[in-house]
Amino acid sequence: MKFFNDLADFEAAEINDLVAFARDLDQRPQPRALEGKVLALLFLSPSLRTLASFQSAMTRLGGGVFVISPDMSIHSIEARSGIVMDGAAAEHIREAIPVIASYSDAIGIRAFAKRERLSYDLEDSEFRAMTSLVDVPYINMESAINHPCQSLADWKTMDDLGIGTHGNRFVLSWSWHPQPMPMAIPAATVHMAALRGMDVTVLRPQGYQLPGTIMARAQEAARASGGTVTETADRDEAMQDAQVLYVNSWTSQHHYGDARAEEDFKHELRYWLVDEPWFSPSKKNCYFMHALPARREVTVTDRILDGPRSVVIPEARNRMLVQMAVLHRMLSES
Amino acid sequence: MKFFNDLADFEAAEINDLVAFARDLDQRPQPRALEGKVLALLFLSPSLRTLASFQSAMTRLGGGVFVISPDMSIHSIEARSGIVMDGAAAEHIREAIPVIASYSDAIGIRAFAKRERLSYDLEDSEFRAMTSLVDVPYINMESAINHPCQSLADWKTMDDLGIGTHGNRFVLSWSWHPQPMPMAIPAATVHMAALRGMDVTVLRPQGYQLPGTIMARAQEAARASGGTVTETADRDEAMQDAQVLYVNSWTSQHHYGDARAEEDFKHELRYWLVDEPWFSPSKKNCYFMHALPARREVTVTDRILDGPRSVVIPEARNRMLVQMAVLHRMLSES
Amino acid sequence: MKFFNDLADFEAAEINDLVAFARDLDQRPQPRALEGKVLALLFLSPSLRTLASFQSAMTRLGGGVFVISPDMSIHSIEARSGIVMDGAAAEHIREAIPVIASYSDAIGIRAFAKRERLSYDLEDSEFRAMTSLVDVPYINMESAINHPCQSLADWKTMDDLGIGTHGNRFVLSWSWHPQPMPMAIPAATVHMAALRGMDVTVLRPQGYQLPGTIMARAQEAARASGGTVTETADRDEAMQDAQVLYVNSWTSQHHYGDARAEEDFKHELRYWLVDEPWFSPSKKNCYFMHALPARREVTVTDRILDGPRSVVIPEARNRMLVQMAVLHRMLSES
């Protein structure tokens, strides 16, 4: 495996194989599989689960990591092209990334959306510019518009819960959040559920439609898998017999890059807070999923997050397990 | 071993066995004992010895660690219950801790005393709340009121020096410090020396008596071990034939949570600075112990810290060795 | 090997042996050579290549590292002697360094020049004070006046490129930089090239002569190796048939410790920016070397850094490889 950037790069059988391998590595440890192998972790955005789960994954397989983050004791890093570097930044990403990669057998990169121009983020321009500088295998640890490690963990989480694929209803709901959040998780999630062949509904208020390119990509995946993708602002309709309510926050495409305008726009949407009444239209045992971190009593109530519907902890643990499978496939033959 | 939280949870024979095992691991390395095993280190308070010694301990045993600290490039963490999370903190400890634990085979947690309400800290309420969220083995890396890794290292340090148990005099002295310091080390230390059966004297100015619950717990340990625990403000009396002078600073229970009041109160106590004349009442070869960091010329003079009485460097190294013993017992069978 | 502090401590044959061993370790991994061994990395100055390359080097050899930096979640560290520590710093380097060393099998220390008094930095006083506190093998990860890991990597880089020793022209050029930079790299570099027996020219504007002690040391090395060391402000003369242009910035000895005065002095030297016309006097295939980080369009143009003359990425990767050789020699027998 030369890169792990997008679930769309894999056949469903390959995804199922990775999930099965993750389960196997959980039960039958391979503590020498990657001995002497090094994973570089480059964080241009903050992290907890990703930082911890990748370190743990490499240790469990006998390898190691090093972590580079501009917050650490390094020179600040410039990313713009053609710049005259006479300011604070001492290092350009055009050297930093190939150098870091040259010390590693694979590199994981996290770089959130800039949230300035929508088209720039939708095309994942920054992430592509960075991976073009790398000649070792790379892993997308969340880019402007994708988060394949989260999606693979979510896929395994649903398998673990016995939630099937075709004909099973998956609801991705927007939720209120005090800040304008990126679209990586909703874009990755709607696509992942569509790839599984589920009946996917995006539930969101007016103004929070996902961009057309994201929806079109998910619908194309659904056509191939036998699933469906629809969207609605009607909560009861969306939640009808839902088996999963997956919650995330994202910024409005209509106010992209304008935090003030969005704040005004979403001012009256604070009631969009997930709580028990949301689940009543479903006659199924509907689970609550969230990639974390989740803002308590803002995005979701304590009683949901701490209650029996929530699977957020095993969902987070699956990050580590599926990443072990990816790393093993990527590095054990190299 | 399911947790390492308090020396009181162990019989003296078990403590002696851990110390002997630490010595053995120092002489006969076991670099594959914990291969593939992961220790999570969660620091909610700053650290140097703990951070370094646990990483080194795991590496020497063939395992690995990951470190999580709110100072790192992660989302800031909320700890209060029932909070509406619409401020800066993006993550709640109720998810963060179980997630971190789920990536690990054991977790070490450091969380200093809040120093707001004495009873809250004496009950170790915050630490207990955190460990209640964890279902892997855990290690207390210093909580509001305990520091068992330091105490086990101190136990080994005295054994290494040939300082006996019954009938040997151990002095724990308060010292001046510019800040209001927690009671974890004095509470753990007086209890540790009492568990050994030593004749323990707490030397402190008026107003710096240790809280009754701490003294009662130490006296109970002394009754079982055949030792004694007393306190005094008289330095010459305390130091009479002392074999160890163990120094630490702690806040006054009478001004707990009120830094300004304590500053006024201790204003005239700056002379309480350990120096050579302190040792003259002892006819024994009296050692100077300190858990570090020590404030030079404030808590102790350079000539003591750099002189032959000081055992602070081997004492600090023993942190690593006893932690190796604890980690091996905790993780090698799991 | 008890320390790695200065290439001058080694015979040319020993240096060539380390370079050959580095190449061998690149081709024939030894992922268990240092199992259970711990390298402490103490950074008192920022780092990217050093931080990453040492971590990767130890992982590839089966050992591990821990990193200590005052920027991390530790108590701030005091370095002055005889100080009354009643301010912010809770820890003194006289305890911190021996404690850190006591947890490790070897320690790497990085501490940039103070850039206050020239003689203090030229004598490497701070670094010597720190290593005097250590009784394990140590590595100079860049001190006030030396950078042996960089020099050994540069030596290997020239060998890899087939650039010979005697009679081959090596140009070390000053370049403009917005800040007053230390002299560790120019001092180490001119000495390294002289040790190889190359014909070394230091190219710099008036006022940026390297201090006499640095030049004298390089000239002594050249006498022993059969090389030469000269200096000039004439670019065309310097670049005549050069095979390597090695670029770095350093502060003027005449304004040492006075950033304002130097800023005024170098104001008219901004044109000292490496670009293609520099290379025309050389009829050889002249390479561009730089230790990184390099300030684009300030120190060197994009087209040189991104063009075929630049070897900065393999030069940086050689840091990891030669450090593996040093660490293996230092730790595998211990």
Taking 70 as the threshold, does the pLDDT of residue C334 lie above it? no
Residue C312 contacts A, CB cutoff 8 Å: yes
Q: What is the pLDDT of residue C77?
A: 82
Q: What is the pLDDT of residue A334?
A: 57
Task: Indicate yes or no: CB of C98 within 8 angstroms of CB of B52.
Answer: no
Taking 70 as the threshold, does the pLDDT of residue B9 lie above it? yes
Q: Are C172 and C216 members of one domain?
A: yes
**A chain contacts of residue C297, beta-carbon cutoff 8 Å:** 82-85
Other beta carbons within 10 Å of B268: 10
CA distance B321 to chain A (A): 21
Predicted complex ipTM: 0.95
Q: What is the pLDDT of residue B334?
A: 57
**Partners of B138 in beta bridges:** B3, B107
Q: Are C303 and C325 members of one domain?
A: no
Q: What is the CATH number of the domain that holds B127?
A: 3.40.50.1370
Scanning A219-248 for CB atoms below 8 A from C yields: none
B179 Cβ contact partners less than 8 Å away, ≥ 6 residues apart: B259
Query: Cα(A92)–Cα(A75) distance, rounded to whole angstroms?
Result: 10
Q: Are A122 and A246 members of one domain?
A: no
Taking 90 as the threshold, does the pLDDT of residue B227 lie above it? yes
Number of domains in chain B: 2
In a domain, C154, yes or no: no
Residue in chain C closest to B50 (alpha carbons) equals: C74
In a domain, C153, yes or no: no
Phi, psi of B5 (to 5 degrees): -125, -25
Residue B329 contacts C, CB cutoff 8 Å: no
More confidently predicted of C87 and B135: B135
**A chain contacts of residue B38, beta-carbon cutoff 8 Å:** 55-56, 59-60
**Partners of A109 in beta bridges:** A42, A140
Task: Quick: pLDDT tens for C219-245.
Answer: 999 999 999 999 999 999 999 999 999
pLDDT band at C75 (very low <50, low <70, confident <90, very high): low
Q: Are C132 and C34 members of one domain?
A: yes
CA distance C227 to chain A (A): 32
Task: Quick: pLDDT tens for C247-303.
Answer: 999 999 999 999 999 999 999 999 999 999 999 999 999 999 999 999 999 999 999
**C chain contacts of residue B305, beta-carbon cutoff 8 Å:** 94-95
- The DSSP letter of residue A296 is B
**For chain C, how big is the Rg over CA atoms in Å?**
20
pLDDT band at B80 (very low <50, low <70, confident <90, very high): confident
Q: Are C35 and C166 members of one domain?
A: no
**A chain contacts of residue B97, beta-carbon cutoff 8 Å:** none
Task: Quick: pLDDT tens for C162-209.
Answer: 998 898 999 999 999 999 999 999 999 999 999 999 999 999 999 999
- Coil, helix or strand for B144? coil
Q: What is the pLDDT of residue C72?
A: 60
Reading the block at residue B221, the tokens are 């340990």
Q: What is the pLDDT of residue A12?
A: 94
pLDDT band at C88 (very low <50, low <70, confident <90, very high): confident
Q: Are A112 and A191 members of one domain?
A: no
In a domain, A36, yes or no: yes
Q: How many helices (H) and strands (E) does chain A have?
A: 12, 12
User: Which of A85, A100, A104, A331 has the highest number of chain C CBs within 10 A, making it the mutation to test binding with C?
Assistant: A85
**C chain contacts of residue A104, beta-carbon cutoff 8 Å:** 56
Scanning B60-79 for CB atoms below 8 A from C yields: 60-62, 64, 69, 71-72
User: Which of B35, B51, B69, B296 has the highest number of chain C CBs within 10 A, making it the mutation to test binding with C?
Assistant: B296
In a domain, B119, yes or no: yes
Q: What is the pLDDT of residue B74?
A: 56
Q: What is the pLDDT of residue A126?
A: 92
In a domain, A285, yes or no: yes
Per-residue pLDDT of chain A (334 residues; tens, 9 = 90+): 999 999 999 999 999 999 999 999 999 999 999 999 999 999 988 889 999 999 999 999 999 999 998 765 456 788 888 899 988 888 899 999 999 999 999 999 999 899 999 999 999 999 999 999 999 999 999 999 999 999 999 999 999 999 988 989 999 999 999 999 999 999 999 999 999 999 999 999 999 999 999 999 999 999 999 999 999 999 999 999 999 999 999 999 999 999 999 999 999 999 999 999 999 999 999 999 999 999 999 999 999 999 999 999 999 999 999 999 999 999 997 5
In a domain, B76, yes or no: yes
Residue in chain B closest to C80 (alpha carbons) equals: B296
Taking 90 as the threshold, does the pLDDT of residue C45 lie above it? no
Question: A255 is in which domain, residue-wise?
Answer: 162-310
Alpha helix (H) residue ranges in C196-310: 212-225, 235-239, 259-265, 302-305
In a domain, B263, yes or no: yes
Residue C31 contacts A, CB cutoff 8 Å: yes
Q: Where does residue C64 rank: exposed (0-12), middle (13-18), buried (19+ CB within 10 A)?
A: buried
Task: Quick: pLDDT tens for B158-169.
Answer: 999 999 889 899
A56, A62, A72 member nearest B66 (Cβ) = A56
In a domain, A152, yes or no: no
Query: Cα(C221)–Cα(C223) distance, rounded to whole angstroms?
Result: 5
Query: Cα(B319)–Cα(B151) distance, rounded to whole angstroms?
Result: 9
Scanning B122-161 for CB atoms below 8 A from A yields: none
Q: Which chains touch C (3 or more CB pairs under 8 A)?
A: A, B
Task: Indicate yes or no: CB of C99 within 8 angstroms of CB of B46.
Answer: no
Residue B48 contacts C, CB cutoff 8 Å: yes
Reading the block at residue B152, the tokens are 């086990």
User: Which of C48, C60, C269, C327 has the highest number of chain A CBs within 10 A, making it the mutation to test binding with A?
Assistant: C48
Q: What is the pLDDT of residue A71?
A: 66
Phi, psi of A284 (to 5 degrees): -90, 170
Specify whether the CB–CB gap between C180 and C109 falls below 8 A.
no
Q: What is the pLDDT of residue B205?
A: 97
Task: Quick: pLDDT tens for B167-188.
Answer: 899 999 999 999 999 999 999 9
Q: What is the pLDDT of residue B333?
A: 72
Specify whether the CB–CB gap between B188 and B260 falls below 8 A.
no
The rounded percent of chain B whose pLDDT value lies above 90 is 90
Q: What is the pLDDT of residue A75?
A: 63
User: Which of A42, A76, A86, A105 has the highest number of chain C CBs within 10 A, making it the mutation to test binding with C?
Assistant: A86
Taking 90 as the threshold, does the pLDDT of residue B255 lie above it? yes
User: Which of A71, A295, A304, A315 has the highest number of chain B CBs within 10 A, making it the mutation to test binding with B?
Assistant: A295
Q: Are B105 and B48 members of one domain?
A: yes
Reading the block at residue A243, the tokens are 């088996």
Q: Are B126 and B226 members of one domain?
A: no
More confidently predicted of C82 and B59: B59
Taking 60 as the threshold, does the pLDDT of residue C73 lie above it? no
Q: Is the pTM for the entire model greater than 0.80?
A: yes
Taking 80 as the threshold, does the pLDDT of residue B270 lie above it? yes
Taking 90 as the threshold, does the pLDDT of residue C71 lie above it? no
**B chain contacts of residue C98, beta-carbon cutoff 8 Å:** 313
Write out the DSSP string of A251-289.
Answer: --GGGTT-HHHHHHHGGGGTT--B-GGGGTT--S--EEE
Q: Where does residue B333 rank: exposed (0-12), middle (13-18), buried (19+ CB within 10 A)?
A: exposed
Q: Are B224 and B302 members of one domain?
A: yes
Q: What is the pLDDT of residue C280?
A: 96
Q: Are A324 and A262 members of one domain?
A: no
pLDDT band at B47 (very low <50, low <70, confident <90, very high): confident
Q: Which chains touch B (3 or more CB pairs under 8 A)?
A: A, C
Residue C259 contacts B, CB cutoff 8 Å: no
**For chain B, how big is the Rg over CA atoms in Å?**
20
Task: Indicate yes or no: CB of B75 within 8 angstroms of CB of A46.
Answer: yes
Q: How many helices (H) and strands (E) does chain B have?
A: 12, 12
Q: Are B138 and B190 members of one domain?
A: no
A32, A52, A305 member nearest B68 (Cβ) = A52
Residue pairs between chains B and C whose CB atoms are closer than 8 Å: 108
Closest CA to B31 of C308, C63, A22: C63
Taking 90 as the threshold, does the pLDDT of residue B73 lie above it? no
Query: Cα(C33)–Cα(C16) distance, rounded to whole angstroms?
Result: 21
Query: Cα(A124)–Cα(A145) distance, rounded to whole angstroms?
Result: 6
Q: Are C177 and C241 members of one domain?
A: yes
